[in-house]
């Protein structure tokens, strides 16, 4: 019987993706428990030690709404001490952006809903009002911290539990409005796990045709088990940045009981097994689950790769053919 990994060929550096870890923000604000600040720091450091080089570490929102994020500034300060790490924070409005910029983040992410219903539920603004807010955030960045990058994440881009169908023309229109407002990148988010690979290919192709190299990350959820398939479909269309969460922590509150974000460990394994470099040591990444679980005892975590283990003969950093 042939060995499953019979030959190893060194990777080309041109074949690479960026895995952006969103667990410390998207994951933690989606669970009821609040992870102690010290545990957040240990977790972020473990992710960094595994080779993760972009982490969304917090969101700057009122503590009364999300007590899980009350320590955002302190967590950012810790992350800034890790050399070469891009420190990101989510900001829903100019007030949050001001606080994030004061804390020293390298990159802001702004949630902009493609669904009219989700926009009102998520940020209490219409889509048009949110585009105005994006302009205010860009102006604030330009005047106070011009080196900070800004990405808009188009949430509910593939469907919405509140509204149902989200027309693709509206997704592309909102993305173009974000670019016109001054953001550097626009990514697409499958907020409620509605996407399928054909839809992902089609929409990212349209996004790139509309906004060119401003086309950004794929943020996929695994609610219906299609997370990795959707990431691969996005990769086929030229996407090279992928959001993921260690242990699949978090997800959409409108899909209770289902696993949420794409599992970072499974995503890294998929790409590395394909010969696509991530720069992340998968063994150290799996070990980073320990501080996560210590900080959130009893919280369910997901991931087929940590459960099954790495295949016999698997050599990371090599392409198996």
C-alpha distances in Å from residue 156, one per residue of 18, 144, 159, 164? 22, 31, 5, 10
CA distance 232 to 227: 9
96 sits in which H/E element? helix 94-103
Cα dihedral: 145, 123, 220, 294 (round 10): 80
- What beta strand segments (E) does 24-131 contain? 54-59, 86-90, 107-113
CA distance 157 to 170: 9
CA distance 69 to 240: 28
Indicate the burial class of 23 (C-beta count within 10 angstroms; 0-12, 13-18, 19 or more): buried
Catalytic annotation present for 252:
yes
Number of H helices, E strands in the chain: 12, 10
What count of other Cβ atoms lies within 10 Å of the Cβ of residue 229?
16
19 sits in which H/E element? strand 18-21
CA distance 31 to 98: 26
CA distance 231 to 248: 14
Q: Is 90 helix (H, G, I), strand (E, B) or coil?
A: strand
Catalytic residues: 252
């Amino acid at each position: 019987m042939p060995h499953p990994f019979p030959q190893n060929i060194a990777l080309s550096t041109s074949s690479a993706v960026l895995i952006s870890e969103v667990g410390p923000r998207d994951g933690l604000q989606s669970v009821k428990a609040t992870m102690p600040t010290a545990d957040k720091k240990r977790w972020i450091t473990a992710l960094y030690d595994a080779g993760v080089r972009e982490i969304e570490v917090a969101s700057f929102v009122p503590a009364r709404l999300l007590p899980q994020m009350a320590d955002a500034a302190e967590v950012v300060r810790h992350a800034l001490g890790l050399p070469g790490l891009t420190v990101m924070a989510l900001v829903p409005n100019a007030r949050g952006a001001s606080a994030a910029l004061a804390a020293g983040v390298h990159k802001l992410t702004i949630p902009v809903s493609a669904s009219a219903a989700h926009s009102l539920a998520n940020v209490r603004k219409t889509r048009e009002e949110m585009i105005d807010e994006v302009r205010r955030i860009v102006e604030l960045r330009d005047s106070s911290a011009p080196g900070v990058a800004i990405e808009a994440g188009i949430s509910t881009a593939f469907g919405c539990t509140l509204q149902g169908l989200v027309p693709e023309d509206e997704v592309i229109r909102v993305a173009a409005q974000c670019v016109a407002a001054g953001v550097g990148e626009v990514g697409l988010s499958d907020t409620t796990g509605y996407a399928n690979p054909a839809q992902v290919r089609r929409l990212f192709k349209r996004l790139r045709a509309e906004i060119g190299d401003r086309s950004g990350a794929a943020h996929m959820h695994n609610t219906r088990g299609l997370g990795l398939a959707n990431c691969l479909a996005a990769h086929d269309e030229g996407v090279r940045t992928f959001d993921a969460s260690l242990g699949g922590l978090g997800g959409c509150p409108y899909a209770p009981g289902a696993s949420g974000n794409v599992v970072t460990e499974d995503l890294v394994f998929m790409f590395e097994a394909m010969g696509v470099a991530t720069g992340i040591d998968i063994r150290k990444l799996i070990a980073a689950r320990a501080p996560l679980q210590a900080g959130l005892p009893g919280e369910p975590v997901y991931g087929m790769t940590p459960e099954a283990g790495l295949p016999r003969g698997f050599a990371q950093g090599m392409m198996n053919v």
